[in-house]
Amino acid sequence: MIAEVVEPLPVISCGLISSAGHNLDEIAGTGSSVSPAPPAEPGPDGDEGDWPPISFHHARLDITGELGTKGTRTLDRVTALGLVACKRALAPIGDLEDEQRRVTGVVLGTSTGSIRSSSEYSRQTYVQAKPYLVNPSLFPNSVMNCCAGQIAIWHRLRAVNATLAAGRLSSLQAFRYARNALARGHARRLLVGGVEELCPQSAWAWHHGGCLAVDACLGEGSALFVLEAPGRSRPDRATLGAIAASEVRCPGGRARTSEELAGCIRRALARSGVRPDQVRIVVTDGHSLPALDRLERQGIRGALAASSAQVIDATAIFGECYSANAAFQLATLFAEWARRGPAADEAGLITTVGDDGSSGCLVVLPPLALREQR
């Protein structure tokens, strides 16, 4: 099967909330120097309770300041982070008419939703006088699609609303799902990205997993991008860039080699109409997990050979953000292009390797106006 070159999908705007910054300007340039791991600090709520001995990069989240007091009292942190990122992503595109909202949807990567909410809900069934004496108004927080659902409610976005769980590939899978959804007309515009919260439950899970690098930090936040169907954007519309082809390989837990990632990269480049030597920037995610880091770098070398491409690891900037990694990687790439301007004929690459054996990549192109100047 010879695959056609995919049509680039314009990325109109980005909204993010993270420990490294709250817009692309703030995170630009952070990749050029890797700061040493900060000392261990209390959890994001200033809560010094049950946290393992790991370092954290937490996002300063002021829920009522960002989102007001109406309807925010029972929000879980995942949902709050997603709502802030969404508000920031939509701000540059102006007020949408109701008919535009009807055809705008959400595609969100999150591997367990708010595991804090679901496990605390389960906990109540053990510790309350009767197991059914749980708080009904917190029940929606325990389902994994709560954040995406709330984003839709807050902004009346009535097209496809999808929540995807794919571990460290969650946000990458969100971009893949979004391409299909736009191509098949399930939406004309999508908020796409990922979200991850810091919480004691997942922090201890990482601690027990034992695969974090010694100097790794856990991070949190959300990055969401507004994507529009190809051909729907006005040609003169400012964009951050465009996403081209993506490839994944998911052999379950079976041993995989760096060749799987290399194969993904070669196929994605071919389907993007991009030569390996055009790739001048690669944003990776392996820094926080040493075993995966080696695999990732070997895979990149296998596909790009002796490339002198700039390599930035997003987990060194944002911390390990699991489901949100690939979304932060895309933000990092756009931030770097905004800072230095892409070179003529340049393309970018995002690579991601999962602790579950999966590998994937996404080819990224500069804004159309720059591509057309070449």
For other proteins, the binding residues in 170-209 under the rule CB under 8 A are 170, 173, 177, 180, 183-186, 200-201, 204-205, 208-209
Q: Rounded to an integer, what distance in angstroms lies between the CA atom of residue 350 and that of residue 19?
A: 20
Under 8 Å between Cβ of 364 and 268: no
**Region binding other proteins by CB under 8 A among candidate stretches 12-20, 54-62, 163-171, 342-350:** 163-171
Q: Which is nearer to other proteins, 55 or 358 (CB)?
A: 358
| Contact flag: residue 167 with other proteins (CB under 8 A) | yes
Shorter beta-carbon distance to other proteins: residue 13 or 111: 111
- Provide the 8-state DSSP code for 306: S
- Judged by CB under 8 A, the chain residues 207 through 226 that form the site for other proteins are 208-210
Strand partners, 219: 57
List Cα–Cα distances, 225 to 3, 165, 262, 331, 334, in angstroms: 26, 18, 27, 9, 11
Q: Which stretch binds other proteins (CB under 8 A): 82-90, 133-141, 212-220, 305-313?
A: 133-141
Contacts of other proteins in 137-156 (CB under 8 A): 139-140, 142-146, 148-150, 152-153, 155-156
- CB of residue 116 vs other proteins: minimum separation in angstroms? 11
Both structure tokens of 38? 């900060």
Among 38, 65, 92, 131, binds other proteins (CB under 8 A): 131
User: How many other CB atoms are there within 10 angstroms of residue 222's CB atom?
Assistant: 37
Q: Which of 289, 296, 310 is nearest to 265 (CA)?
A: 296
Question: Residue type at 350?
Answer: I
* Pairing verdict, β 359-365 and 241-249: antiparallel
Tokens representing residue 251 in the block: 């052999």
Are residues 80 and 63 in contact, defined by beta-carbon separation less than 8 angstroms?
Answer: yes
Least separation in angstroms between residue 31's CB and other proteins is 27
Minimum CB separation from other proteins for residue 137, in Å?
9
Torsion sign across C-alpha atoms 145, 104, 96, 111: positive
Q: 134 or 343, CB closer to other proteins?
A: 134
Binding flag, residue 73, other proteins (CB under 8 A):
no
* 16-45 footprint of other proteins as x/- string (CB under 8 A): ------------------------------
Q: Cα-atom radius of gyration of the chain, to the nearest Å? A: 20
Positive/negative CA dihedral, 99, 237, 352, 182:
positive
Contact set for other proteins, span 88-107 (CB under 8 A): 101, 105-106
Residue 307 makes CB contacts below 8 A (sequence gap 6+) with 276, 277, 279, 282, 300, 301
* Stretch binding other proteins (CB under 8 A), from 23-31, 60-68, 232-240, 349-357: 349-357
Residues 276-335 that bind other proteins (CB under 8 A): none
Residue 122 near other proteins by CB under 8 A: yes
For residues 205 and 322, the answer to whether their CB atoms sit within 8 Å is no
User: Least distance to other proteins from the beta carbon of 283, Å?
Assistant: 22
Q: Which stretch binds other proteins (CB under 8 A): 57-65, 168-176, 274-282, 293-301?
A: 168-176
Site for other proteins in 244-273 (CB under 8 A): 248-254, 260
